[in-house]
Amino acid sequence: MQPDPVLSPAGDDSDSSLDQALRPRSFDEFVGQRTLLDNLRVYIQAAQGRGEPLDHVLLSGLPGLGKTTLASLIARELGVECRTTSGPALVRPADLAGILTNVGRGELLFIDEIHRLPAAVEELLYSAMEDFAIDILIDQGPNARSVRVPLQHFTLVGATTREGMLSAPLRGRFGLLEKLDVYPPADIEEILRRSAARLGVGIDEAPLARVARVARGTPRVANRLIKRLRDFAQITAAGRITDEVGVDALRRLGIDDNGLCETDRRILTSLHRAGGGPVGLKTVAVAAGEDPETIEDVYEPFLLTEGWLMRTPRGRCLTERAAEWFAKNGGKSGTAQRSLF
Ligand code: ADP
């Protein structure tokens, strides 16, 4: 089974230089999330006014909403370095210790997927965040002793798609807790407009609205779509994204009129085959060819808000809307709009 080219985390980000080009380079270029940005501006100015490093920041929100981008923009506003790592990359406490001892005063350490830190690494982070010192164990057996290593007063920016999975001691050590919400269609249109301009491709108003409707309020999805639409426009429409190009490209990408992609349809079909559910998450994930966390973080939020699927204590179930859709389409989800991959 191929990963979904637009939605899957394993999908298309191969053209990373394009991604760099599309990333906002200042707070002013960061579209939407006004309250959050206004708050951050105040905290940054206040910290700078006092000549102090910024308090630790926790950014939470679904994948692709701009947490990594914001971390680098905070560093830019502060005029400091930003070191980047992630929860799964920090396997042993020594991995984190090596990074912490190299972070300068006022600098930013960005830890993506911070909810996935191993317990021993997380514990080391507690004293680093609170006391700006860590205890490192040296030697083994009867000679083992702990040495306290002072750190520079740094700022930790943590990002998580699962705020609920953070332990209370870790969560409690962040001074600033900021949540990113999915973007309204107007913001997604603005992001699409800017990205099209950066990519040097013209786009009409109709496809702009059409793509914004299926981008799930997520800038990453919007940017992946605009890159693919640019390809289709280049080959078929003299470099301009007209509505015809938009309709054709979305169809080729396997996105139907309801905004459902091939993986969404696989999820819904697996529930339909099980009589509408309930079906456990792991079984749904196997049927859809994605891991359970991706199903929960990437696909389900849209299926839930659009009223296709319900989460119940016993598993996932189809909604009435989905059942009606299957009844009307002869129970053959995905055949009307088959993906071309
Ligand atoms: P996350 O870390 O939350 O998964 P990213 O920061 O990697 O998300 O953002 C995904 C992409 O979406 C980035 O390449 C960035 O260009 C774009 N993006 C995210 N938020 C915005 C925004 N508010 N305005 C414009 N582009 C954005």
Cβ of residue 271 lying under 6 Å from some atom of ligand 1: no
The catalytic site residues sit at: 67-68, 112, 161, 220
Question: CB within 8 A of 114, min separation 6: which ones?
Answer: 58, 87, 158, 159, 160, 166, 170
Distance 67 CA to ligand 1 centre (A): 7
Task: For residue 125, report the phi and psi dihedrals to the nearest 5 degrees.
Answer: -70, -30
What is the pLDDT at residue 125?
96
Q: What's the pTM value of the predicted model, to 2 decimals?
A: 0.89
Mean pLDDT score across all residues of the chain: 91
pLDDT in tens, 217-251: 999 999 999 999 999 999 887 889 999 999 999 99
Closest Cα to atom 5 of ligand 1: 66
Distance 46 CA to ligand 1 centre (A): 26
What is the pLDDT at residue 144?
87
Cβ of residue 222 lying under 6 Å from some atom of ligand 1: no
Given a cut of 50, whether residue 335 has pLDDT beyond it is no
Binning pLDDT at 50, 70 and 90, where does residue 61 land?
very high
Average pLDDT (185-195) is: 96
CA 335 to chain centre: 30
Q: Which of 225, 206, 205, 228 is nearest to 217 (CA)?
A: 225
